Copies of this chain bind each other. A is one copy, B any other.
C-alpha cells in the first residue's frame, strides 16, 4: 500500500502513454516519415525515454499498433446491440462508418500504411494479421446481425469475403476523402449500402429508410 500503483502496472501505463504518442505521430506522418525524435516531441518526454520503455523502434510501433486495435474493435458493438430492425441497424452502421471516415481518417490511413508495411516486414505480420482478424469479426458482427434482422434465408457470404469487400470500399473512400473529395463520405455510404444489398439480398426487400 506504500506505492499507489504496482510498479509493473505503472510501467505498462507509461508504455501505453508513449504508444499513444506514437500512434498520433504515425497517423500524422506515416510509417516512412516517423522518427523516434518526432514521436518523443509529440509526448511529454525526451527521446531517450523511448528506449527505456521499448526495446527498439519495432517494439514501440507494435505496441502502438496493438493500441490501435483496442480502439477500433468495439466501435460497432453498441449499434449491433441497440438496433431494433434491419433498416435501423443498416442506417446506424452507415452513419458510424461516415463518422469514422470523417473523424479518424488519419488513424485509418495509418492502418492501411502498416498493413502494407507488413507485406514487406515480417516483424509486423503477426500483429497486423491479428488485427485484421479482429476487424473481420467486428464487421461480421454487424453483417450477421443484419442478416438475422432482415430474415435472410439463403446462404450468407463468408466473413472473410464480407470484410474484404467492405474494407475495399472503405479504403477507396478514404483515399478520395483525403484527396479532398467532399462527396467521399456520401458515396461510400451509398456503395456500402449497395454492397450490403448484394451480400444480403433479403435487405433489398426491406430497404433502409
Contacts and interface: CB of A to CB of B under 8 A. Distances in A.
Integer count of this chain's copies in the complex: 4
A206 interface: no
B158 A120 contact: no
B164 A168 contact: yes
For the complex of A and B, the 10 pairs showing the least CB-CB separation, nearest first, are: A168-B168, A32-B32, A30-B120, A109-B119, A165-B165, A164-B168, A113-B116, A164-B169, A198-B198, A164-B172
A89 to B, nearest CB: 20
Nearest to A191: B161
A31 interface: yes
Chain A interface size band reads 35 or more
A132 interface: yes
A169 to B, nearest CB: 4
A157 B190 CA distance: 11
A112 B172 CA distance: 12
A174 interface: yes
Interface string A32-45: 11000000000000
Interface of A: 29-33, 109, 112-113, 115-121, 125, 128-129, 132, 157-158, 160-161, 163-169, 171-172, 174-175, 178-179, 187, 191, 194-195, 198-199
Contacts of A161: 169, 191, 194-195
A174 B30 contact: no
A30 B179 contact: no
Contacts of A167: 168, 171-172
Contacts of A164: 165, 168-169, 171-172, 191
B30 A116 contact: yes
A167 to B, nearest CB: 5
